[in-house]
Amino acid sequence: MVQKLKEVASLEEILNIREKGDRLYKLKVLSEPFKDEDIYLKVVLNAKKVFYSYGGELSFYGYKKDKNLYFDSDGHPYWNAYFDDSKFRLYDGIFLGRYGCGGGRIYRETIQKLYDQLANNKKLIKKFKKFCEDNRNNRLNEAKKEFGLLTGEVKKDYIYDENDDIIIIFGRWYRRIIDKDNAYEKKIKNVTPKEHKEAFKKYTNKIIKKIEEKGFKLYAKELKGGKRKWVR
């Protein structure tokens, strides 16, 4: 009897096959060019007539991001990101003006969403409007000073430019508010990576548990003498 190989398209499909046979799985941590932790998952069912095989990647950056913005106790914005129901806080450099080549449209849409969600924060918006008004007055004073109609120093904040729309000006102003003493930068570097790893670990463990509940066992590396060892 010749056994056939059937490559299965999804993990759910191979887990729901009811044929009897050896049920095995392997995990392999992939290369880490960006210090990620992508895992390649291989699952096989060695049935009498068919050898079923599934292979797929559990991507460290394969999370989905919530469309809504949230704010922590410091008033700092973040997204909720998910691996299924495993959640973590994604503090995003886009709020500090980092959006990369070709990301201008996404940046503006993000700051517009931020502005809309903060519109009912009267204290913050009042500060921003005062900032804009002060700089409008300074531009007038600059013009007067140029023709000797004003003496003394004219203060201008160069994040303000009337040629830009109010949303872009708000984005530049707001990044100063949240990143005072590098407060937001620290959350990008410390909070998000930690929570990201924890959420990914929960996600992968949940998948492994599901696999093992279906009778699949982890197959270890080959030992000395050509023997192999079950570790679960």
Q: What's the confidence (pLDDT) of residue 159?
A: 82
If pLDDT is split at 50, 70 and 90, which confidence band does 33 have? low
Amino acid present at 224:
K
Q: What's the confidence (pLDDT) of residue 221?
A: 60
CA gap 212, 130 in Å, rounded: 61
Mean pLDDT of 89-116: 93
pLDDT tens, 105-161?
Answer: 999 999 999 999 999 999 999 999 999 888 887 777 778 877 878 777 777 777 887
CA gap 10, 15 in Å, rounded: 9
If pLDDT is split at 50, 70 and 90, which confidence band does 34 have? low
- pTM, two decimal places: 0.82
If pLDDT is split at 50, 70 and 90, which confidence band does 169 have? very high
Residues in the chain: 232
Q: What's the confidence (pLDDT) of residue 141?
A: 78
69-76: which pairs have CB atoms within 8 A and are 24 or more residues apart?
Answer: 69/113, 69/114, 69/117, 74/183, 75/178, 76/178, 76/183, 76/184, 76/187
Nearest-Å Rg of the Cα atoms of the chain is 28
DSSP track, 81-114: EEETTEEEEE--GGGGT---TT-HHHHHHHHHHH
Q: Which of 7, 17, 29 has the alpha carbon at shortest distance from 200? A: 29
Domains in the chain, please, with CATH? 4-61+204-230 (3.30.720.90)
If pLDDT is split at 50, 70 and 90, which confidence band does 222 have? low
Mean pLDDT for the chain overall: 89
What is the token pair recorded at 38?
């992508």
Q: Is the pLDDT of residue 75 over 80?
A: yes
